Amino acid sequence: MKNRQNREEKSNKKEVIELKGTILETLPNAMFKVELENGHEILAHISGRMRMHYIKILPGDTVTIEMTPYDLTKGRITFRHK
């Protein structure tokens, strides 16, 4: 039963949408307003690994965002491009 749960968790992680965007504004609590390549604006927060490694994000930075198909207004910043 435990193996079945692990397989389901792994398959759920694959159900994300990855997009590129540009940081427009920094908000409190490590939240950012991001404009996606397609023109939509969403709220995004920093992923745990980026927080752990003290990666700083400033307005104007290009980032990769993961979004769930269930809520297309929020996302998670997973990578900052140079």
Distances (CA, A) of 10 to 3, 5, 22, 63, 75: 11, 9, 29, 24, 19
Query: Is residue 53, in this structure, part of any structural domain at all?
Result: yes
pLDDT digits over 12-38, tens only? 567 899 999 999 999 999 999 999 999
Structure tokens at 10: 């792994």
pLDDT at 82 (0 to 100): 87
Question: Above 90 in pLDDT, residue 70?
Answer: yes
Number of domains the chain contains: 1
Query: Is residue 62, in this structure, part of any structural domain at all?
Result: yes
Question: Residue 21 sits in a domain of what CATH number?
Answer: 2.40.50.140
Give dist(CA 79, CA 49) in Å, integer.
Answer: 10
Query: Is residue 1, in this structure, part of any structural domain at all?
Result: no
The pTM score is 0.81
For residue 69, give its domain range.
Answer: 16-80
Q: What value does the mean pLDDT take over residues 71-80?
A: 96
Question: Above 60 in pLDDT, residue 10?
Answer: no
